[in-house]
Chain A
C-alpha cells in the first residue's frame, strides 16, 4: 500500500539554525500538507500546497517557514531560524483531491528538537 514517508525521523538542532524537513507524498497525490504536534498538545494545521503554491496557511506559518516541491516527488518544510518553541513532531500529509471527498494520509512524522 502506498504511504507517505518522511526524513529524518528525528532532527536535533541549535536555536537559530535552519532545518529542512523532507517528505515524499503518495505518488499520484496532488495536495500536500504540513501539520505539527507540540508535545502534549493537539495536531495543528500549518500549511497546504497545491499546484506549486501555498493554498492555505495558518497563523503559525509565519515568515520563518517555507514549503517547496523541488522535484516531482519531494515536499519540504524549511524553518529558517529555529526557535525553542518550534520543537514538535511535524507531520506531512497528502491527498489525491480536495474538498468534500478528501482523505489526507499522514507520514510517520519528524520529531524536531531545538536546543
Chain B
C-alpha cells in the first residue's frame, strides 16, 4: 500500500520555465510534508517542507503548495535551471519534530531541465 504517490516518474522542462512536481497521499495522519532532491550516488537533500496548518511555503525558487482536502501537494520550481535536474522525492510524516522525523517517501519523479 503506497501511502505517498508520485504519479509522474519523469518530467522534462525547458530551462527558465516552471517545473511542477505533484504528490498525493492517502494517510490522514500525515501532518508534515517534505520535498527532497537526490543526485546519483548521493543521499537525498532536503529542499523545502510544509506543515499541515499551512497551504503554501516559499523558499527562493521553490514553493510547496498543500491541498489537505484533496490530499495533494505540489512543488513549483521557477525559473528552472539545469542544476535542478535530479530525482525529486515527496515525503510525509505523522511524527515530525522532537528528533523523530520518520518519513514515508513517494516513488520519485526524475526531473530533466532542457537547456
Chains A and B form a bound pair: no
Which A residues are within 8 Å of any B CB, using their own CB?
none
Which B residues are within 8 Å of any A CB, using their own CB?
none
